[in-house]
Amino acid sequence: MPPSRGRALLLARALDEPTRVQYELEQLRDTLATTAKQNKRRKPSTFELLNDPEQLDYSLT
């Protein structure tokens, strides 16, 4: 189970205690901030190239 899913379950179980909800939201935020990072790439992705063909290393003509 992904870490964020486990945190979401803990959040659901804490809904009757406002201080625990706040704590679980902070923990979920921290978990998502560390696990949802996109790796830096040397080359642009296919999606980036489709949006901006000028990033291609060669000419399309």
Give the residue numbers spanning the domain of 51: 3-55
- pTM for the full model? 0.50
Residue identified by tokens 């704590």 is: 23
The reply to whether 30 falls in a domain is yes
Per-residue pLDDT for 49 more than 70? yes
The reply to whether 38 falls in a domain is yes
pLDDT at 16: 92
The reply to whether 32 falls in a domain is yes
The reply to whether 45 falls in a domain is yes
pLDDT at 2: 61
Burial 19-34, CB ≥16 within 10 A → b, else e: eebeebeeebeebeee
The reply to whether 60 falls in a domain is no
13 alpha-carbon distance from chain centroid: 23
The reply to whether 31 falls in a domain is yes
The reply to whether 10 falls in a domain is yes
The reply to whether 9 falls in a domain is yes
Q: How many domains does the chain have?
A: 1
pLDDT tens, 4-35?
677 778 888 888 999 999 998 898 888 878 87
pLDDT at 20: 92
